[in-house]
Structure 1
């Protein structure tokens, strides 16, 4: 019997096994490349690219901007394309330091993003294999668990958002690094473990980094203690590893921390934080499969099904379309629990998994609210369903450990038989209950969606019957194979087939032409704007529509709609800035101005140098906004491009009107009668000189980069130089070579007071916290390198 399933395999035993099968590592390495290539064959063997969801709205724009700047030898401190500009490194999801950004210096944008996404799956597979092998799971069981995590519905569907796929795929390797270090602390293992933890942060998900750190500590502290005094050293090793991971990630962490106090890094309230909570009904997907999806037309859960059946928060789409981990994995995880239920360590891990489940359920339970209130550092996080990667990883690890406990040498295969029969009975009951009595459609669908079309009812019913019956069959096959543990390797093929058939249809790839073809509005804007001058557009289109287009799937048409209306931040591709805001580093001052959506769109945004607006044509039925004119129309998506000739230049001289506080400026700016044209509200610590000629004169702008530009001006009288970009910390100004204060103007933008005459104003930007973060990361890396050199030179006893 296996008396300690959590104990590591002795190194001598590991070497002896490797000598018997020396090709194992080559086999796993090859499978880690071949299996993802085959699973994602629609991406691997075509020119199509990953484009759905935030891959288009956020990931492509940020990577495109990074590549354009770095290829010119510049570091992108300022991102001018979202919400009047914001700090690029401080946006945690920018992933500005992740090594995959280097692909964009060598490959076209679409190819680089495709390769970035596909590389996540070998990383996930190898990391999970290594983690399970470190826990002594047999090779077949380690491969089984790795398939479970790598091709789980969560990871497959999050290809629509690589910002969260990158860190999620790295978590198993990071936990492996933790285990290796706490079992035998060395400088080299500390470097690897801390580096892998930092890589989770560099992927772009602060919450995943925090949870991975916590799980690493949990894993380390539950390792068996085999000698007196080991416990104290174990705690010290945990603290050292956590600190090392944080210090190596400092270039990403410190700018983000600086943003928390000045920007809008995440959720502003508990209700907003819990948008994209997992509906309790969807927990059944882990075993049954994605029973709410339309795998052919929509390739996911239709919005109408979300609104009517599982809506959580204000969004009408699901974060991911599947959570399926394969019925065989659930059987093995349950069997492992049954075989190890008397072990305290088992229940520690089960308790951690249940806590994560409670957090993922978000607003359905009070747990997320308790954490939100008790842990201030948790408050910037949002979208509990993001934690789904840890749920599926927990089941994958549980399945691997269940394989070791039940199907390994001296195991207890009877537990697999009992678990398989039990899961089969449950799934068969669900399938029969729907097939015979409409348990699902009459018990849930129709009460929540009485007007549901017959086709939708039939589709949802068929999904449950088919998936319930298939899951029951898979569970029974698991029970049969467990009679002969030598046949257990068949479970690996069974698991892979189940994941491919259920999750394979759900990832979305689209024609590369969607990303490469400028929309008509972009061409009209560029033709109407001064050459080589930054230009900004405000998009007020909320629903993008999906008009019928031959050759394009549903989500392709949605992507086309977003590109056509220049939705934030797709306008980056055409070098057009957005007055709207989609990324989380936006200015809170700007958000306050956006409170009245119509007034912001047609009055305040143009006043802040936004000369173009894209809107639904139907919204102009009552007439054009004052001063606006129609520049172009797009009949396919029923949208109109408006021009605002009265919009001032991006940088201009203005007459100041002093106010004492931000609140006074906001009240004055949003009053029924705003300040007169040519006048700017300035939050002044002391009154500014004004006379009749204030605000008149000329300016000439020389731009070296978005972070550095010079304005040569000639003011007829004392005035303010207005820069209609976001007022955020990090900017400095000099007037004729002397430091000059930057004042908040018109609530959300910047101004510098200038006297009459000819002057030169130079403005520079540096992300707060970036330089200290780079120094901390570099010094930590240097210290680790020195420690490794010293440890290698030290003679061994």
Structure 2
């Protein structure tokens, strides 16, 4: 029995691997890279920097280049603790980055299949479930954002382990929950991890068979060990949230942005209704016109197509299988949640604990895809076990296909009339684009349903006795593969890694180079490239966020998640085009100005600043402005509270005034000291400064003052105070002193200790149980003759 199960598992894995290899053949065989949207703008440059740090044996906990510095582990999105980072140690960066994406997609499919097996599906049903999730629009589209893709890759494995732990029990399965939970959390999406744990618990209560009391206890154990396993990731994030942008009240735009529009639910079964008419274009005019708002101009992902065939099989399976029916009901509830304020859930969530701190509800479409995928496996099993029911399925699917065929005929034969019917205002061109999408999408879905109906009818007639499972899986593969192959976008890696003359010039200077890039991305500079390719090339050439991280150049503009709350408050009070002037207060003395150096005045730089043509090809200039040093002894000082400090840095001429504001009392008799401060070691999480002063002085370090930093003066602990709203300050006595600042991610070590303890205890219990089983199966030793 065990060997048969293993053979079935191998067959499922082989089928999924084959479909994966064919679908991603352009990526596997070519040099194109996954650079669309955040994959190229954020993940590629930041992971290049992380890879370089890992190769020299250093786990980066602090990123000094984003803004004035941000946490890496506590920030979550960069996934520095995920095991896939090992790829950067054994392969060239571009190959490792691509492998991260591709292996995540394959892992998502294999995990969905493993979960389906735990739900009782046959190998055929498991293969269908894995394929339906792996090639779904949401998973394939998430190749543009490694945070969500990596989390999605592990979530089904967590559900599979949790189901086994809730049904079979035992420390071994709880140990599997611990590992799967860590992998899910380490992907970088804490909301996705929390939802996966919640679903794992709900699964134990609603789907697993057994007495209610036992199910309740095991559900609680699943949650406990899942939390312990993810502690090294989750605890630092929870510690950072109160100090991050997530602690601030959401603006109206935050609640309205990135929610699934009800019209887009149609795309679950009809592909690409609202896609852009220009492949690779970030802006989708059709989506914005019909399903957008003032805050949402592009969809969360390119495609959410779950497959007309897969959804039909899920509905078929839910008719008879109670577990599949409950999965389908959960999917409906989560679909309502994904609509956010469009259907009332967003308003409800704002009044609830924990949920009120979430945003971007559209990402829940991942679960709206995974749950029906598992139910589709039940549909396949039901059809193969009861071939006569194939007639009923063929009739229902054929009728649905006929309706979609009618929509295709209307769009194909009378496009003008249909365009006038769906037109909004005077947007004729967008209406015509929507009709073209309807023609293509409805036609593709109708063909898929026709194929499914034909296969179901052949199974019912006994014509596919041995090939029925393969035929059903092939229909799913063709349906999803043909529709979602455009949901992943490849681009030449050179657009984000070509040389930057600006960066080379700035790095030639001593210290940490810091720039401000207040002018917009200019993709029109390279009309021969797709919009995003030209935009990312512009960022790479100008040290824009987050390309600056790979270039090891600081930029006040940071493109990442969970920025320091104070930086967000400061930016909300300033005009992006004039932020350069106050930035000088914190040592940002270089401004990248495109086109003409005369534009520097628009950024608030006084006329006459030094301008250097640093990149003639753009062209782009580096314009200098007087700026305070990164390390210095404060001059004239005033005390203020947090609000007063913010008003000081926003006041015109704050940097040029020579004054500083400290949040706390200024010692009686304080006078500006005479002396100097010098940075002698800069190692990311560790700074060493020597200071000499003729009187008590405030050492100002123009880096972000955040939780996790500590300071010593001559080896003795010293407090850190907020200076000039964003920077750090350390009081030092008169004389010569050595000041050391260290950053340690709050709760990282404690979280690692909790996870290690849970792993050791569960491992010991699992080994003990295994020994007892082996001893019991061996029986009493026979007496000697």
TM-score by length of 2: 0.91
The counterpart of 1:153, out of the listed 113, 137, 150, is 137
* Greater displacement, 668-677 / 128-137: 668-677
Question: Over residues 392-420 of structure 1, what are the superposed CA-to-partner deviations in whole Å (9 max), with x where a residue is unaligned?
Answer: 11221121112223333467324412330
* Greater displacement, 300-309 / 600-609: 300-309
User: Which residue does 2:350 correspond to in 1?
Assistant: 372
Q: Give, in whole Å, the separation in 2 of the partners of 1:29 and 1:197.
A: 22
Matches within 5 A, 1:65-76: 65-76=49-60
In structure 2, relative to structure 1, the CA distance for the partners of 1:336 and 1:636 (3 Å cut) is farther
The counterpart of 2:436, out of the listed 462, 476, 497, is 462
Q: In the alignment, is residue 38 of structure 1 matched against residue 22 of structure 2?
A: yes
**1:776: Cα distance to partner?**
0.9
Which segments of 5 or more consecutive residues in structure 1 lack a partner in the other structure? 1-13
The counterpart of 2:406, out of the listed 404, 429, 454, is 429
Q: Give, in whole Å, the separation in 2 of the partners of 1:611 and 1:683.
A: 25
Matches within 5 A, 1:229-628: 230-265=211-246, 268-269=249-250, 271=252, 272-294=254-276, 297-299=278-280, 302-312=283-293, 314-339=295-320, 348-375=326-353, 377-409=354-386, 412-435=389-412, 436=414, 441-444=419-422, 446-447=423-424, 450-453=426-429, 457-485=431-459, 486=464, 488=468, 489-527=470-508, 529-530=509-510, 533-548=511-526, 550=528, 552-594=529-571, 595-598=573-576, 601-617=579-595, 623=601, 625-626=605-606, 628=609
The counterpart of 1:648, out of the listed 625, 628, 632, is 628
RMSD: 2.6
Question: Over residues 19-59 of structure 1, what are the superposed CA-to-partner deviations in whole Å (9 max), with x where a residue is unaligned?
Answer: xxx74433333333333222112211112221121112322
* Greater displacement, 741-750 / 679-688: 679-688
**1:118: Cα distance to partner?**
0.6
Q: Give, in whole Å, the separation in 2 of the partners of 1:169 and 1:761.
A: 44
The counterpart of 1:756, out of the listed 734, 740, 743, is 734
Q: In the alignment, is residue 712 of structure 1 matched against residue 690 of structure 2?
A: yes
Partners of 1:697 and 1:715 within 8 A in 2: yes
In structure 2, relative to structure 1, the CA distance for the partners of 1:181 and 1:302 (3 Å cut) is same
Q: Give, in whole Å, the separation in 2 of the partners of 1:40 and 1:266.
A: 40
The counterpart of 1:123, out of the listed 103, 107, 112, is 107
Partners of 2:319 and 2:325 within 8 A in 1: no
Q: In the alignment, is residue 785 of structure 1 matched against residue 758 of structure 2?
A: no
Matches within 5 A, 1:693-704: 694-704=672-682
Partners of 1:277 and 1:313 within 8 A in 2: no
**1:461: Cα distance to partner?**
1.9
SS at match of 1:185: coil
**1:605: Cα distance to partner?**
0.7
In structure 2, relative to structure 1, the CA distance for the partners of 1:392 and 1:224 (3 Å cut) is closer
The counterpart of 1:725, out of the listed 695, 703, 708, is 703
User: Which residue does 2:743 correspond to in 1?
Assistant: 765
**1:236: Cα distance to partner?**
1.0
* Greater displacement, 563-572 / 112-121: 563-572
SS at match of 2:703: strand
**1:307: Cα distance to partner?**
3.3
Partners of 1:697 and 1:714 within 8 A in 2: yes
Q: In the alignment, is residue 206 of structure 1 matched against residue 190 of structure 2?
A: yes
* Greater displacement, 345-354 / 616-625: 616-625
Q: Give, in whole Å, the separation in 2 of the partners of 1:758 and 1:346.
A: 72
SS at match of 2:515: strand
The counterpart of 1:56, out of the listed 33, 36, 40, is 40
User: Which residue does 1:10 correspond to in 2?
Assistant: none
SS at match of 2:519: coil
Partners of 2:639 and 2:666 within 8 A in 1: no
Question: Over residues 281-324 of structure 1, what are the superposed CA-to-partner deviations in whole Å (9 max), with x where a residue is unaligned?
Answer: 211111111122247x4236644334333224624322211111
Q: In the alignment, is residue 665 of structure 1 matched against residue 645 of structure 2?
A: yes
Which segments of 5 or more consecutive residues in structure 2 lack a partner in the other structure? 778-785
* Greater displacement, 58-67 / 75-84: 58-67
Q: Give, in whole Å, the separation in 1 of the partners of 2:241 and 2:267.
A: 36
In structure 2, relative to structure 1, the CA distance for the partners of 1:688 and 1:427 (3 Å cut) is farther
User: Which residue does 1:776 correspond to in 2?
Assistant: 754
**1:244: Cα distance to partner?**
0.6
Q: Give, in whole Å, the separation in 2 of the partners of 1:752 and 1:334.
A: 64
In structure 2, relative to structure 1, the CA distance for the partners of 1:358 and 1:542 (3 Å cut) is farther
